[in-house]
Amino acid sequence: MKPGQRLFEEWMLAAILTVQVVLVCAGVLSRYFFNWSLSFTEELTRYLLIWLACLGLPACWVRGEMIGFQWPGRRSARTARILAWLRSGAGGVFFLMLLYSSLQMIRLQWQYDQRTSVMGWPVVWVSLALPAASLLFFYRAFFPIKFRDSEPGLDGVPSRMVFESCPGATMESRECKTDNLSPLPPGDGQGEGKP
């Protein structure tokens, strides 16, 4: 990725968040100034929040900002690579189950013509966020993107994925050294800064 370049999901997240802010402000201002409730704003904001959360998962994954833990002690680059692939595999299993179950749910919603309570829109449009998140996860997890702040990967595994739980690891050292078990500075291990 070039400096300043953003993921597709990040642009979508920014757009959805902007629409949510406008809707909430419109709903509050209409009630306060005109004593008139725009009831669709609450429902639409709720459904956009589902899309926001689902599109945020793949974006967090590719930046290495998902919840995780650190492995204490020394670890070779090979072990780090194996752990990174195990992490991707576990995520893949979860999102594969999510994809399957969400497609079953969408089929039933379509079959019974389930609609939202206020706007009367098909609920399928809301539920499509789950398979979209699953497919984006598979794309992001198994076709890694190089970021401006990451080192080249080992054997196709992004270095952030390999070394995210190992502060101080470098491509030259080929091993994880954690002699100092002091707390990490803010941002380390969360994709914010460099160790």
- Give residue-wise pLDDT tens across range 91-125: 889 999 999 999 999 999 999 999 999 999 999 99
Residue 57 in contact with residue 99, Cβ under 8 Å? no
| Amino acid identity at 164 | E
Report the chain's mean pLDDT, rounded to a whole number. 76
The whole-model pTM stands at: 0.67
Q: Which two tokens stand for residue 148?
A: 């401006």
The span from the CA of 175 to the CA of 71, in Å, is: 13
User: 64 — phi, psi (to 5°)?
Assistant: 70, 30
Residue 63 has pLDDT above 90, yes or no: no
Residue 193 has pLDDT above 50, yes or no: no
| pLDDT score for 82 | 85
| pLDDT score for 9 | 85
Residue 189 has pLDDT above 70, yes or no: no
CB neighbours of residue 177 within 10 Å: 14
Q: Which residue has the higher pLDDT, 183 or 86?
A: 86
Angstrom CA distances, 22 to 30, 36, 114, stand at: 12, 17, 27
Average pLDDT over residues 61-81: 75
The span from the CA of 78 to the CA of 85, in Å, is: 11
Q: Which residue has the higher pLDDT, 67 or 167?
A: 67
> In this prediction, what percent of the chain has a pLDDT beyond 70?
67
Q: Give per-residue pLDDT as tens, 134-151.
A: 999 888 877 765 543 444
Residue 74 neighbours by CB under 8 Å, 6+ apart: 175, 176, 177, 178
Residue 121 in contact with residue 130, Cβ under 8 Å? no
| pLDDT score for 5 | 54
